[in-house]
A and B are shown apart, each in its own frame.
Chain A
Amino acid sequence: MSVMARSSSSRWENYYTPATAAEAVEILQRYDGEARVVGGGTDLLVETRRGLHKPVSAMVDVTHIEGLGEISIEDDCIVIGCGVTHSQIVRDARIIEQGSCLAESCGVIGGPQVRNVGTLAGNVAHALPAGDGTIGLLALGGEVEVTGVDGSRWMPLEDSFKGPGKSFIDRYREVLTRLRFRPTGAGEGSAHHRVMRPQGLCLPIISMGVRVALDQANVINEARISMGPVGPVPHLAEPAMEVLVGGPATETQYAKATEVALQNVELRASKYRATREYRELMVRTFLPAILQRAVERAQRGTS
């Protein structure tokens, strides 16, 4: 033995890089709960080193599946395979234009080395209350494709959240194979903002995404607002969305929607991360700001 790892007692014995989703599912089935899916692994493997996950016999790396390392267009949707890294998303011209808030949110994740390896699918499957990529995709109205022994099914992203760090996607038996969203078109725009602190935890104080659609008269006829961490799972601020729909794209409306959003969540203080008051200030400052940015993008018509 030579220079070896710190304790690998919590590590796996086999590491698979299947070339098809079916093969991945087959391996998971064979291990019957003793294998789990890994994407980029930038969160999962760090947590595994810390002993935060039950040890498994095998890791099934889904980033080598053919065709799922790409961003494509299918059925008028932008489709993101489970091997697609944050860096790929940040650089993708279509997503920059037609899914701005996803490009922005993936761009603030970790640092370059993490973005070069970490995947959006992994971010979504991790189901943290404020995973930035997840918040971005949630605002866009994203969907996830889950592949298991019974085949594949699509479901709305928000239906995958079970609790903090818990997804309805069973990472011991299923693969989150693809993600998709309807790109923003004419009269539509999206934006994301996150507030972090320079100390201590690499977790957002607040992460928010919005998507709006305007009609010719500058009236908002569609709106989505995602927020986290404001509860156990990424939050869709439906009452605030309702405030916006049917009204003009004005600062007054943004402020009104922000107040409604605040009334419908219970912001909390988290030790060493943020006080409740500070979180509230950040929502009041940045939710109207990103609404304005999304509206400007919608008005430019390009995104």
Chain B
Amino acid sequence: MKTLRMTLNGNAVELEVNEARYLSEVLRGELGLKGTKIGCNEAECGICTVLVNGTPVSSCVFPAFKAHGAVVETIENLSADGNLHPLQQAFLEQGAVQCGICTPGMIMTAKALIDDKGASLTEDDIRTALKDTYCRCTGYRSIVRAILQAARGEMSDDSSPASTSSPVGKPLPNPNARAKIDGSARFTDDYDFPGMLYARTRRAGVPHARIVSIDTAAARELPGVHAVLTHEDVPGHNRHGLVIDDWPVLCDDKVRYAGDAIAVVAADSEEIAAAAIDLINVQYEELPVVGDALQASEPDAPLVHDGRSEGNLLKHIKVAKGDIEAGFADADVVVDRTYRTQSAEHLFLEPECSIGIPAGYDPGEFGGEVDASAVRGETARHDKTSIYVGSQIPYQDRDQAAAALGVEPDAVRVVATLTGGGFGGKEDITGQIHVALLAEETGRPVKMLYSRQESLLVHPKRHPTVIRMRIGARKDGTLTAVQATLYGDGGAYASLSEKVLTRATTHAAGPYETPNVKIDCFAMYTNNAPSGAFRGFGVTQSCFAVESTMDIVAEELGIDAIELRHKNALDVGRRTSTGQELRESAGLRECIDKVAEEMREQGFRWSWESGDSRFAWGIAVAYKNTGLGGGAADKASAEIEVWRGGENRAEVRISSAEMGQNLPGVLAACAAEELGIPVEKVHVLLGDTDFCPDGGATTASRQSFVSGNAVRLAAEKAAANDEEHVLVRYDYEAPQTRPLGEGGDMHFAFSFGAQAALVEVDMTTGEVHVHKVIAAHDIGRALNPLTLRGQVEGGIVMALGYTLTEHYIQEDGKPWTSLMARYKMPSIEHAPEIESHVVEHAVAAGPFGAKGAGELPSIATSAAITNAIYRATGVRVLSLPVDQDELLRACKAGADTVELGWGNLEPLPDISLGGQI
């Protein structure tokens, strides 16, 4: 310990500090300034940025004593007087805040820039200064707008009226944004409870092995360790899973991927817990590894799950329509290609964190009390086992934890904290069950925060796929047949593979009417990290394949790529490949027209050369279901409480996850609209299973529609009752759907979109830059144009990363991508100009006509970019992500395709259409 002196946020501070601490730890720990967030502890993500002597530094690798004698400024200083700094105000007005975890670091980095450059700063200055301050939600465009606005001292455009009645369709900021901007918003790791212990998990480290023995004696004896749990200590069901319960809470017989949990430890500090997990001695008998989906499907492949008659086949998903052979016989042109897509990581910037509180917890016992401002009801009681977590499905967290604890579901309470990004990656269980078990075992609160590296290792990824796609068309461009075979790597556990790959399959023929369709998809177990939900939910992968192939069909037929798509586009009266007739709300053709019109306005050319670069446009279209579909009951229950008279306010309660997409704003608008009160008078309480009815999973672009309807209808009922105090609950069930294979409506709504990308390929390096994306999306109705734009821009940039920069690499079940430094998501330097158009073909059953918007913007982008690369270079990219090395060599060699993509070392074997397992 040594005395650290600094000037912190204008005040001289002096404190005794462990000399091994980093500045981030001292700020968040000793000084309690939780506004500074930690994303990676690698100096990669930049969200921990604070200013030291006016200069942005990554506080996570900045030793505290480096700041000795320095002037340090954190987010808490910017609005210390209660007024937002102009930069904060601009972030609020421009919707530059979504999940909010990066916001403090982003604002501090930007503040230093504005202090340095003032009003003269340019967009280039912003790109340079913010290069290493990452945001996973916004796509950066709103951040650029906000910084320019603040630097120029501009007032906002008209967009946020002070009091808003009739808020639906108005560009209002997310109600949570203010707290995220001033640093007061709390994510799970920002909570502390008296007596709290810290937990770590012992990971398998090997991808496939039989467990011979687990010896925890040495770990138990380490001073400061309170509990060490293995599978023997799980009182209830030692499995979890959202579809199939095949995922061990703590491994018993086998480990099936390197991130498997063997044991968990709770200790007085993270250091002790970390030391303890290293003292656990696990003996393995290593087994042969199943490294990918094609290997998994070989007849002699080792079994990931013993004793399954289907072997490694998790599910064979089929779509069949018409007569596929007749369809190809009828075609003048048949194009047949095989594509490969990579595993991808969500890289939400808040790593997973859970806190478990034991039933009957009394903070007084530990000489403290719980901060009353934290979460409602928190001081009143922890009479149940409680779990604080920022996840996507509070009720399923609750039910799965209860099953493992061996108690009834309502003996567990899940309190949903703010979620620092999810994108599908926080649907499965991570630490929720472990902290509940440890809390009950120790009788104390237990926090488990994953390191970035552990997060990379453990949570489910996007499915890597191999897709063979064959399309037949007549000379006039009419599609006659689409056949595809997909292999999806589901990884070690089922997670949502069946659902994700069903979506990949049903959407594989694209948003077109085709009389003859045959799609076979094989979801396979392997020893890789499980694959699960990720924005786009399988459609991202099959869209890349079908939209690349459509471009080739257009070229072979000599038909304009836009015209070919327009001709075959789904529309009202046409049928999807699962046989669903669209009766309303199918605005794809308008989206295509809108994008084409915009492209043509600009002295349109498909491609041109300039200096060492070639420029070209590419186009792709997409559709995406709203809601679960496939016959699943899609329900949400909402409660609304209204206080009239002088108060004239309401509270909406529903258990659903806000990840930054602005669910609270949308729900508040739905309620306010029906109640006829200003939107600021509606408070939305999300995700406390003791206070909020179940809104269902935040997945499948379903919340605005399903929970939006539940709230709207609850509010409608409340509006009809003119008593002073009204409490209404509404249980909404979305329109009935039909299972795949039965025909009829598989989904109650689809959103449609078209995107065009302007790409530059540097012919000296092979580097690809996306300069501009023009997008048009039919999402039924824009409930909030400001936050919808955030979804569109964020989705497009996320997809750009999937196309150009991201690959979660696993080698025989061992992740090479073990660090954030080995996984590059797009930075502000990658973010293109985005022109977003909204097409509103209302869906009658949607709230005010709305359908889903969360996933659609991230689907068509990949093919739009690779189609542009083809027009620029003549080289067709069949594998993601695009590799500049391979692309350049192909260009130099005059080759017409690239087949590996970055991170793949081996070419694909041939796969047969129809496939067989």
Docked pose: A271 CA to B822 CA in angstroms: 12
Docked pose: A16 CA to B145 CA in angstroms: 43
Docked pose: A296 CA to B830 CA in angstroms: 31
Within 8 A of B (CB), among A1-50: 1-9, 11-15, 17, 38, 41-42, 45-46, 49-50
Docked pose: A134 CA to B270 CA in angstroms: 38
- B19 near A4: Cβ-Cβ < 8 Å: no
Q: Which residues of A contact B55 (CB under 8 A)?
A: 87, 116
Q: Does B430 contact A (CB under 8 A)?
A: no
- Give the residue name and chain of the B residue nearest to A7 (CB): B274
Q: Does A302 contact B (CB under 8 A)?
A: no
- A201 near B885: Cβ-Cβ < 8 Å: no
- A201 near B822: Cβ-Cβ < 8 Å: yes
- B61 near A41: Cβ-Cβ < 8 Å: yes
Q: Does B322 contact A (CB under 8 A)?
A: no
Docked pose: A63 CA to B41 CA in angstroms: 21
Q: Does A152 contact B (CB under 8 A)?
A: no
Stretch at the interface among B126-134, B495-503, B728-736, B779-787: B126-134
Contact A198-B830, Cβ < 8 Å, known A3-B192, A281-B888: yes
Q: Does A202 contact B (CB under 8 A)?
A: yes
| Secondary structure of the B contact surface, majority rule | loop
Give the Cβ gap from A10 to chain B, nearest Cβ, in Å: 10
Q: Which residues of A contact B567 (CB under 8 A)?
A: none
- B49 near A1: Cβ-Cβ < 8 Å: no
Q: Does A219 contact B (CB under 8 A)?
A: no
- A282 near B192: Cβ-Cβ < 8 Å: no
Docked pose: A49 CA to B274 CA in angstroms: 13
- B58 near A272: Cβ-Cβ < 8 Å: no
Give the Cβ gap from A65 to chain B, nearest Cβ, in Å: 13
Q: Which residues of B contact A197 (CB under 8 A)?
A: 883-885, 902
Among candidates B61, B275, B824, residue contacting A199 with C-beta atoms closer than 8 Å? B824
Stretch at the interface among B25-33, B408-416, B634-642, B678-686: B25-33
Stretch at the interface among A72-80, A106-114, A124-132, A230-238: A106-114
Interface bits B169-201 vs A (CB < 8 Å: 1, else 0):
000000000000000000001001000001000
Q: Which residues of A contact B130 (CB under 8 A)?
A: 112
- B271 near A5: Cβ-Cβ < 8 Å: yes
Docked pose: A198 CA to B885 CA in angstroms: 11
Q: Does B269 contact A (CB under 8 A)?
A: yes
Q: Does A59 contact B (CB under 8 A)?
A: yes
Q: Does A274 contact B (CB under 8 A)?
A: yes
Give the Cβ gap from A143 to chain B, nearest Cβ, in Å: 27
- Give the residue name and chain of the A residue nearest to B192 (CB): A2
Stretch at the interface among B95-103, B213-221, B558-566, B803-811: B803-811
Give the Cβ gap from A9 to chain B, nearest Cβ, in Å: 6
Contact A111-B132, Cβ < 8 Å, known A2-B29, A200-B822: yes
Q: Does B42 contact A (CB under 8 A)?
A: yes
- Give the residue name and chain of the B residue nearest to A14 (CB): B19
- B271 near A112: Cβ-Cβ < 8 Å: no
- A5 near B21: Cβ-Cβ < 8 Å: yes
Give the Cβ gap from A87 to chain B, nearest Cβ, in Å: 7
Docked pose: A198 CA to B397 CA in angstroms: 37
- B65 near A15: Cβ-Cβ < 8 Å: yes
Chain B, interface residues (CB within 8 Å), range: 35 or more
Among candidates B20, B68, B270, B805, residue contacting A198 with C-beta atoms closer than 8 Å? B805
Interface bits A188-211 vs B (CB < 8 Å: 1, else 0):
000000010111111001000000
Give the Cβ gap from A110 to chain B, nearest Cβ, in Å: 7
- A116 near B20: Cβ-Cβ < 8 Å: no
- Give the residue name and chain of the B residue nearest to A58 (CB): B19
Interface bits A146-184 vs B (CB < 8 Å: 1, else 0):
000000000000000000000000000000000000000
- Give the residue name and chain of the B residue nearest to A269 (CB): B885
Interface bits B763-804 vs A (CB < 8 Å: 1, else 0):
011110000000000000000000000000000000000001
Q: Does B892 contact A (CB under 8 A)?
A: yes
- A12 near B903: Cβ-Cβ < 8 Å: no
Docked pose: A2 CA to B902 CA in angstroms: 42
Contact A12-B198, Cβ < 8 Å, known A4-B25, A63-B66, A198-B830: no
Within 8 A of A (CB), among B41-56: 41-43, 46, 49, 55-56
Docked pose: A42 CA to B42 CA in angstroms: 9
- A3 near B63: Cβ-Cβ < 8 Å: no
Give the Cβ gap from B153 to chain A, nearest Cβ, in Å: 24
- A41 near B63: Cβ-Cβ < 8 Å: yes
Contact A199-B888, Cβ < 8 Å, known A14-B19, A272-B809: no
- B268 near A1: Cβ-Cβ < 8 Å: yes
Q: Does B816 contact A (CB under 8 A)?
A: yes
Give the Cβ gap from B374 to chain A, nearest Cβ, in Å: 15
Give the Cβ gap from B59 to chain A, nearest Cβ, in Å: 9
- B824 near A5: Cβ-Cβ < 8 Å: no
- Give the residue name and chain of the A residue nearest to B53 (CB): A116
Give the Cβ gap from A4 to chain B, nearest Cβ, in Å: 5
- B66 near A17: Cβ-Cβ < 8 Å: yes
Q: Which residues of B contact A9 (CB under 8 A)?
A: 271, 274-275
- B30 near A46: Cβ-Cβ < 8 Å: no
Docked pose: A277 CA to B64 CA in angstroms: 45
- B269 near A112: Cβ-Cβ < 8 Å: no
Q: Does A243 contact B (CB under 8 A)?
A: no
- Give the residue name and chain of the B residue nearest to A59 (CB): B63
Which of B20, B42, B806, B822 has the most C-beta atoms of chain A within 10 angstroms of its own C-beta? B20
Q: Which residues of B contact A63 (CB under 8 A)?
A: 66
- A116 near B57: Cβ-Cβ < 8 Å: yes
Docked pose: A5 CA to B22 CA in angstroms: 8
Contact A113-B63, Cβ < 8 Å, known A3-B29, A9-B271, A49-B41: no
Contact A275-B42, Cβ < 8 Å, known A113-B57, A201-B821: no
Contact A46-B43, Cβ < 8 Å, known A11-B20, A114-B132: yes
Within 8 A of B (CB), among A216-271: 271
Docked pose: A204 CA to B197 CA in angstroms: 43
Interface bits B620-658 vs A (CB < 8 Å: 1, else 0):
000000000000000000000000000000000000000
Docked pose: A65 CA to B802 CA in angstroms: 45
Q: Which residues of B contact A61 (CB under 8 A)?
A: 63, 65-66
Q: Does B62 contact A (CB under 8 A)?
A: yes
- B20 near A199: Cβ-Cβ < 8 Å: no
Contact A278-B63, Cβ < 8 Å, known A5-B21, A199-B824, A200-B807: no
Among candidates A1, A45, A49, A278, residue contacting B889 with C-beta atoms closer than 8 Å? A278
Among candidates A7, A49, A200, A282, residue contacting B271 with C-beta atoms closer than 8 Å? A7
- Give the residue name and chain of the A residue nearest to B765 (CB): A195
Which of A42, A59, A198 has the most C-beta atoms of chain B within 10 angstroms of its own C-beta? A198
Q: Which residues of A contact B62 (CB under 8 A)?
A: 41, 117
Q: Which residues of B contact A110 (CB under 8 A)?
A: 43, 132
Q: Which residues of B contact A274 (CB under 8 A)?
A: 885
Contact A17-B42, Cβ < 8 Å, known A11-B20, A198-B805: no
Q: Does B451 contact A (CB under 8 A)?
A: yes
- A113 near B805: Cβ-Cβ < 8 Å: no
Q: Which residues of A contact B129 (CB under 8 A)?
A: 112
Within 8 A of B (CB), among A264-303: 271-272, 274-275, 277-278, 281-282, 285-286
Docked pose: A59 CA to B889 CA in angstroms: 46
- A8 near B20: Cβ-Cβ < 8 Å: yes
Among candidates A12, A45, A112, A277, residue contacting B109 with C-beta atoms closer than 8 Å? A112
Among candidates B21, B56, B269, B816, residue contacting A113 with C-beta atoms closer than 8 Å? B56
Subset of 8 A-B contacts with CB under 8 Å:
A14-B19, A15-B63, A17-B68, A45-B63, A111-B46, A111-B131, A199-B883, A282-B765
User: Which A residues fall within an 8 A CB radius of B?
Assistant: 1-9, 11-15, 17, 38, 41-42, 45-46, 49-50, 59, 61, 63-64, 87, 110-114, 116-117, 195, 197-202, 205, 271-272, 274-275, 277-278, 281-282, 285-286
15 additional A-B residue pairs with CB within 8 Å, beyond A197-B885, A198-B824: A4-B25, A4-B270, A6-B274, A42-B61, A45-B61, A49-B41, A111-B131, A112-B130, A112-B132, A113-B49, A199-B806, A199-B883, A199-B902, A199-B903, A282-B765
